[in-house]
A and B are shown apart, each in its own frame.
Chain A
């Protein structure tokens, strides 16, 4: 995407809006990584994610005339992806588990830094530069699966895809306050999940006795 300027992208979108499938396919190549990543974090299954990603692009091409130039194409695309994912959940009638529902924010233990050793062993170490091992990745994915759909979408868009609050609000068609609250509650739940399962974490990530 680095070689692409916003003008290029707008041109491609404009050509796509006139039915140019080749132009749209260039957008596909630009955004397929982001879209697939998002969908995979939402559904947690690679085959399903691949199919839903394809559906997202088909739906996006069909609906591209509704895209308004000047707004975020990424947010628009991820909104379509969210809808495709919601449709999928409805189809398989497999709503995300609500097992953590009883854990409201207020009830969560606030004592100490439960996850202090989870992501980094020292403050000087940047966790983003370290590849998480497979076990920890799976644990995080399972934690995401536990989140209610709205919170999961908000957290994944914010913390995995790196969208701004404004883009998330645009993409999910919600108010900023709602976005802020969903992100916060989603993060808090995920934190509680990880803390509950810290015994499953690799040794170097385990919590010290506090």
Chain B
């Protein structure tokens, strides 16, 4: 007899018994077991109650006639036909909430780009400031190594770094020997200006990047601009996120 490992009738057997789907022999065996087994009797009773409940479900009222019209058949494939049911509407709403998010993501790229650019500008200003330091007092080994560290890090952080930022660490790392490579005739060799910078270019006196004082002012201007840009960018991003 088909009993499960607990020695009881399998659910399948009980369910099939309800539907008279067992052979006469199986029925006899099942009934023999059921006579002695309270548990299986209970389960059979539960299954039959469940079936009775399903049978007792009232037939729903058909909401409309489903008679076909020629228009229906002319319409597109039936799988695309179904009008928007509730759950699809939910799905769509979820999607429509998602789509603007996608465009928001695209929009938030702009402020992020701005932030990156501002950071670079700030770095540049910082470099200007630092580069002015060694020439104001006599360059101490600690400050020059510090400036070296920060400038060599600069190009690594960005690929968009302007030319002279990239040039600078090379010339600085070579220390005083960079004078040879540089066209600059200035005394402060460790902070020599890039080779590409035209020496003949006219600068207003206080902005002249080839004098330490000018570099300090340039650096400060760049830093202020960059900080301003960063503030604007972060507000922008927050604004975008809040939409």
Contacts and interface: CB of A to CB of B under 8 A. Distances in A.
B195 to A, nearest CB: 61
Summarize A's interface: helix, strand, loop or mixed: helix
B232 interface: no
Interface stretch (B12-20, B27-35, B112-120): B12-20
A29 B65 contact: yes
Contacts of B73: 21, 58, 61-62
Interface string A187-201: 110110011000000
B24 interface: no
A38 to B, nearest CB: 10
A2 interface: no
Contacts of B46: 113-116, 191, 195
Nearest to A188: B11
Given A28-B67, A110-B39, A132 B91 contact: no
B53 A105 contact: no
Interface residues of B toward A: which range?
Answer: 35 or more
A185 B11 contact: yes
A50 interface: yes
Contact of B43 (A110, A183, A190): A110
A91 B50 contact: no
Top 8 nearest A-B pairs (CB, nearest first) are A184-B15, A48-B85, A159-B54, A115-B49, A184-B12, A51-B82, A119-B52, A58-B78
Interface of B: 4-6, 8, 10-12, 14-16, 19, 21, 38-43, 45-47, 49-60, 62-68, 70, 72-73, 78-79, 81-83, 85-88, 91
Interface of A: 21, 24-25, 28-29, 32-33, 35-37, 40-41, 45-48, 50-55, 57-59, 61-62, 84, 87-88, 91-94, 105-106, 108, 110-116, 118-120, 127-128, 130-132, 136-137, 140, 155, 158-160, 165, 180-181, 183-185, 187-188, 190-191, 194-195
